[in-house]
Structure 1
């Protein structure tokens, strides 16, 4: 199970007017615990005004950089992001969960694959880690980035992307699309969507030249780009996506669980120990565990980050929302406990699998 430790902020840099890049100092004794794959994320835990806030942010440093860095973009009414952009400073202490996430493909230094990334706004964050790590690890890889923003001023990592182009001239290419600022070529105006994706494969590169496509950003953008990818011949195994949580998204118990009378007996395996609790079928398993004072991992509670992932070992559990688990994980019995409810009277789940 993912643990959390108090880490010291060693760097805070302004990247755009509403975005900071934060680097954490990882002590020698915790280096192994904070080893990560490109595209993974961290959950930051901070007590603000007596309330514990947990927020997930993608790692933007490459695996080879030997540092732990995230980007935090301030969002409207975002309590943690507003605090971080206004107040976070070098020397501050924050509890940080160990890395998690499955937004990557295993790399092979003997391959000659071509990758494409489609990003919108802060969706560039995990893709920066993926792009840098891939180019450094696979010397024959080629990477193309299609990056949408409102304006040039709001574009996160704009100079870093240019630096990558200068460093990997023959293997990295990128194109900017702006929705609220006119560019000289009409094609690059507007949002990344299904039609724009299809046009990219007609104007810039043939779809059959790409081995894997990564997509990250808001729901509508991801859905549109994936539709464009599939209509252009991409298979599910070639498409990798990660959605951001919509603020305030709440799970609602499915009819099967809500209609079951009485309470469910739940056995939860956490760090090798078994804990037994009882709770209403209409309460999400994660919420039941928290109410039972169990130390279970969680972050977004919106079915996105996968921090609360567990495997169903016994019983009938229904998951109402999944925006993070791969189909093969669901088929193997994994659920996101923040979005899952006990339908049978007894269930057993393991957070250790």
Structure 2
């Protein structure tokens, strides 16, 4: 189970392309912060007594061992505004160990072909994956389509250019913009299904590859996935991570207050950090809400069905998830649920956060 550790900021660079790039000192923590390409960390900070957490993908190559994230300021975003305004070298932030399944096994002896699609801040895990693959699999080939509104809003665009220059002949990059002309009709304008089909046909987003990785809003990754499948790439070879959705799941900032008139609708048992605790659920609760009342150390971040930080296995009983953007079909078959989106459909449930 990931725990929060105070880490010192060693670098905080205001990137001209719409983000703050933050690097942390992990030298005193051994292998605890060693990460796989594509993984993320959770950060937390307290605002007026409210514990606010956010997930950020690591945007550095795994072999380098440097824990680096990129934070884009979201209009009205409490956490991102604080981070971009306040973080500087010497600042201390609470950070979890790296986690996440948006990664894959590397094999230096193989020559594989990869397709990547990133939209907006979806470039952060994609950059980590591409740079790691290019450094670790010397015979592999990589193609990237990177979609943004304009070049000025393209996070890490300079890093992508540098990566391309270091791996000429192995990395092909196509920058696509919705509000800026590129000189290519395929790479300019609204990203609809017809445009994605054309990108695949033209080889910008090739389907004749071993694996594809997609990261960005669910609407765009849906279209990209469908275009690749239609061109012959098996669905099981396509992996994606969702960053934003038009309609996220049920969002609660904290468990609702229990009063004398609150009615218990079900009960449960949770295993967390090696301890077993019993909890009661009230009308309107998610499983995470109920567990948090008696176990404030229960893991969570987005609370909206996207990041999968709150995942657990249902050992007994049944639950229903409002949405699921964070778990694979295989994980669901193995009993994993997003507790922030889960409500019981049986009188009792048993969940295991340590699974």
Question: Which residues of structure 1 form unaligned runs of 5+?
Answer: 254-260
TM-score normalised over the length of structure 1: 0.93
The residue number in structure 2 matching 1:294 is 296
* Shift, 1:50, TM fit: 2.7
CA shift at 1:185, angstroms? Answer: 2.0
Q: Which residue of 2 aligns with 1:258?
A: none
The equivalent residue for 1:151 is 150
CA–CA distance in structure 1, aligned partners of residues 16 and 268 of structure 2: 46
Given candidates 323, 331, 340, the residue that maps to 1:338 is 340
Q: In the alignment, is residue 14 of structure 1 matched against residue 25 of structure 2?
A: no
Q: Is the 8 A contact 1:120 1:148 kept in 2?
A: yes
**Aligned-partner SS, 2:14:** strand
Q: Aligned equivalents of 2:104 and 2:16: distance in 1?
A: 29
Distance 1:192 1:130, change over 3 A: farther
Q: Paired residue for 2:255?
A: none
Aligned pairs for 1:109-188 within 5 A? 109-188=108-187
Deviations 1:206-263 (A, max 9, x none): 845211111111222112212212221222211111111459944289xxxxxxx843
**How far apart, in 1, do the equivalents of 2:205 and 2:126 lie?**
21
Structure 2 residue runs of 5 or longer lacking an equivalent are: 253-262
* 1:173-322 paired onto structure 2 within 5 Å: 173-204=172-203, 207-246=206-245, 249-251=248-250, 262-280=264-282, 282-322=284-324
Which is worse superposed, 275-284 or 139-148? 275-284
How many residues align? The count is 345
Q: CA–CA distance in 2 between the matches of 1:192 and 1:146? A: 12
**1:256 aligned partner:** none
* Cα separation, 2, equivalents of 1:122 and 1:281: 36
State how 1:93-104 maps to structure 2 within 5 Å. 93-104=92-103
> Secondary structure in 1 aligned to 2:44?
strand
What is the distance in 1 between the residues matched to 2:353 and 2:205?
A: 42
Would you say 1:83 and 2:82 are equivalent positions?
Answer: yes
Distance in 2, matches of 1:206 and 1:192, equals: 13
Separation of aligned partners in 1, 2:222 and 2:247: 20
**What does 1:29-44 correspond to in 2, within 5 Å?**
30-44=29-43
Deviation at 1:191, TM superposition (A): 4.0
Flag as ranges the 4+ runs of structure 1 deviating above 6 A: none
Q: Contact 1:120/1:192 (CA < 8 Å) preserved in 2?
A: no
8 Å contact kept, 1:131–1:143: yes
- Please give the alpha-carbon distance, in whole angstroms, between the structure 2 residues aligned to 1:79 and 1:246: 19
How far apart in 2 are the matches of 1:10 and 1:21?
11
- How far is the alpha carbon of 1:276 from its aligned partner? 0.7
Q: 2:94, 2:245 → 1: CA distance?
A: 23
Checking the alignment, whether the CA contact within 8 Å between 1:12 and 1:22 is kept in structure 2 is yes
Shift of 1:325: 0.6
Partner secondary structure for residue 153 of structure 2: coil
CA distance, structure 2, for counterparts of residue 195 and residue 106 of structure 1: 33
Counterpart-to-counterpart distance in 2, 1:96 and 1:163: 28
On the 8 A contact 1:53/1:80 being kept in 2, the answer is yes
The answer on whether the counterparts of 1:16 and 1:155 sit within 8 Å (CA) in structure 2 is no
